[in-house]
Amino acid sequence: MMKTFYIKGITGNSSIYIAERLQNVNKYLPDVKTIIITDEIVKKYYSNDFPDCPVITISTGESIKTLATVESIYRQLIDLACDRQTFILAIGGGIVCDIAGFVASTFQRGLRFGFVSTTLLSQVDASVGGKNGVNFDSYKNMVGVFMQPEFVICDIDLLNTLPKEEVANGFAEIVKHALINDYSMFEFIENNKTQALSLDSQIITKLVTDSIRIKSGIVQKDEKEAGN
Ligand SMILES: NC(=O)c1ccc[n+]([C@@H]2O[C@H](COP(=O)([O-])OP(=O)(O)OC[C@H]3O[C@@H](n4cnc5c(N)ncnc54)[C@H](O)[C@@H]3O)[C@@H](O)[C@H]2O)c1
């Protein structure tokens, strides 16, 4: 069952669609030139399901979340004759979305953008809050902006190709959300952890939904909360 959350932020509104499919992303795209930003691994697995648009591909790993990568994307956008009407669609995990959101928010003073979140961590954490940015020197997330994506699609089926440690990464964030905010969610996790870690789609959909509900509540109260 698809579930939608609406975030009303001071930097714009965002709709988060849980259990929607990458194959349906066309439904959410405006009728303008659209550029996809993704990484090599996500492209390898899912390019067949991408909408028919030019694709900018970055490599992977925290070390590429830099201004140099941002600059290389700006150059490709210029080569693709993008202008202020262009829409940016990020398809990837937290790294792709953080970089693409920053690029979109700054190129020609800001383009419209949306995300398809492909990792568990980006679905439960990075999808909500409108934080976009990159690392600088040895400082994590030192340079960035707050700007809400117009939509975030959390396609649960994409998680099946995630390496185990990436599932564990997102799961840890889910446990953190439960521990801080919701004892009954924590009990649910205790009783269903094996199914959750093996990505049982009903269980994981519930946990992603609960996490997003919690985080969107926090963001609504304090969009620019301290820390990261
Ligand atoms: N903006 C925010 O609010 C926010 C919140 C949390 C984390 N973050 C940022 O997110 C980053 C981490 O994000 P992440 O954990 O998603 O890591 P990531 O984007 O590096 O993805 C992890 C790995 O999984 C691969 N991958 C992605 N989707 C896949 C799929 N469906 N199947 C197979 N492989 C796939 C990626 O190519 C990558 O190698 C950090 O830089 C962190 O600062 C941002």
pLDDT tens readout for residues 181-220:
999 999 999 999 999 999 999 999 999 999 999 988 876 6
**Is-contact 112 87, C-beta < 8 A?**
yes
Strand pairing partners for 136?
Answer: 139
Cα 126 to ligand 1 centre (Å): 9
Pairing of strands 3-9, 34-39: unpaired
Q: pTM of this prediction? A: 0.95
**Residue of the nearest CA to atom 13 in ligand 1?**
94
- Minimal CA–CA distance to 18: which of 8, 7, 9? 7
> What totals of helices (H) and strands (E) does the chain contain, helices first?
7, 9
**Is-contact 203 158, C-beta < 8 A?**
no
What average pLDDT does range 106-134 have in this prediction? Answer: 96
Cα 24 to ligand 1 centre (Å): 22
Out of 8-12, 127-131, 172-176, pick the least confident. 8-12
- Phi/psi for 127 (5° steps) reads -70, -25
Cα 60 to ligand 1 centre (Å): 9
In ligand 1, the atom with minimum distance to the C-alpha of 141 is 43
Domain ranges of the chain: 3-158
Residue 119, by phi and psi: left (phi above 0), alpha (psi -120 to 50) or beta? Answer: beta
* Secondary element (H or E) of residue 114: strand 112-117
What average pLDDT does range 114-140 have in this prediction? Answer: 96
In ligand 1, the atom with minimum distance to the C-alpha of 117 is 28
Q: Which residues contact 10 (CB under 8 A, 6 or more apart)?
A: 223
Select 3-158's CATH number: 3.40.50.1970, 3.90.700.10, 1.10.10.10, 3.40.50.2000. Answer: 3.40.50.1970
**Is-contact 199 207, C-beta < 8 A?**
no
DSSP 126: I
pLDDT at 193 (0 to 100): 95
In ligand 1, the atom with minimum distance to the C-alpha of 96 is 19
CA atoms of 117 and 56, how far apart (whole Å): 16
Cα 25 to ligand 1 centre (Å): 20
Cα 26 to ligand 1 centre (Å): 23
What average pLDDT does range 64-79 have in this prediction? Answer: 98
DSSP, residue by residue, 192-207: HHHHHHTT-HHHHHHH
Pairing of strands 34-39, 131-136: unpaired
What residues does ligand 1 touch, defined as CB less than 6 Å away? 39, 41-42, 45, 60, 62, 65, 92-96, 98, 118-119, 121-122, 125-126, 129, 131, 141, 158, 161-162, 166, 169
* Secondary element (H or E) of residue 131: strand 131-136
Residue 1 confidence (pLDDT) above 80: no
Here the tokens at position 166 are 């990436």
**Residue % of the chain over a pLDDT of 90:** 87
Residue 32 confidence (pLDDT) above 50: yes
Helix, strand, or coil (residue 196): helix
